[in-house]
Amino acid sequence: MTEEYIEVELPGGGKLVELNRPMPIQTHKTKGILAIEWRRLFGLSQFAIDELRDNISNMAYQVPGSPVSLDIPATAINLPITYRQYLRTCFKAFEEATNGGNGVDVNDELTYPSLKCFEALAILPPGQKEEMIKGVLL
């Protein structure tokens, strides 16, 4: 592949020679996402998420209107553990990341599967996880 170097005469003399490979303009923040930034991506779903988070260890709690139980294997993410077990871990990780940690990372191994779980539980409408996983619009 032929690569191009650009040459620029500098003010006052001198020359800049630079590889002409500008980075595409970043449109979304994908790392170090603050808790409030991540929650806003959920939109109206954040209220149901908050209720789920507060009740994740209440074995009598099920997501209202969900087509699946929290206590069945998480087939949406091909894991033998239950949705409840998986999301409990995800909520803990979120708390650690956003409370003195490095913030939410959309590429973290827990992020997208957690969104798939929320969709399976009918908390997130279909299609929203694909937008959320892009990150926070700059």
Partner 1 sequence: MGRNVAQSRSATTSIVNAQSTSPCAALSIPNLGVDHNVKSILTGALVAGTLKPILSLTNTAGDVDVLALLSVDATARTLALRVTIDGVTSPYAFDSTTNSFSAANTGIVAAGLAAAKTSTSIPTTTDTPLSFNNSFIVEAASSLGETDKSVIFIRYKTRSKA
Taking CA 137 as the corner, what is the angle to CA 134 and CA 138, rounded to the nearest 5 degrees?
Answer: 130
- Going residue by residue from 37 to 76, which x/- string records binding to partner 1, judged by CB under 8 A? ----------------------------------------
78 forms part of the interface with partner 1 (CB under 8 A): no
Which is nearest to 45 in space by CA: 63, 59, 27?
A: 63
- Least gap, CB of 134 to partner 1 (angstroms): 14
42, 48, 52, 103: which one contacts partner 1 (CB under 8 A)?
A: 103
> In this structure, are strands 15-19 and 28-29 parallel, antiparallel, or unpaired?
unpaired
- Least gap, CB of 13 to partner 1 (angstroms): 6
Q: Is 8 exposed, middle or buried (0-12, 13-18, 19+ CB in 10 A)?
A: exposed
- Within its chain, how far is the Cα of 96 from the centroid? 15
- Least gap, CB of 59 to partner 1 (angstroms): 31
69, 107, 131, 134: which one contacts partner 1 (CB under 8 A)?
A: 107
Span of 9-17, 41-49, 73-81, 112-120 interacting with partner 1 by CB under 8 A? 9-17
Token duo for residue 83 = 């949705």
Contacting partner 1 within 11-40 (CB under 8 A): 11-19, 21-23, 26, 29, 31-35
Q: Report the alpha-carbon distance of residue 122 to residue 114 in Å, rounded.
A: 13
Cα-atom radius of gyration of the chain, to the nearest Å?
21
Q: Which residues bind partner 1 (CB under 8 A)?
A: 1, 3, 10-19, 21-23, 26, 29, 31-35, 97-103, 105, 107, 138
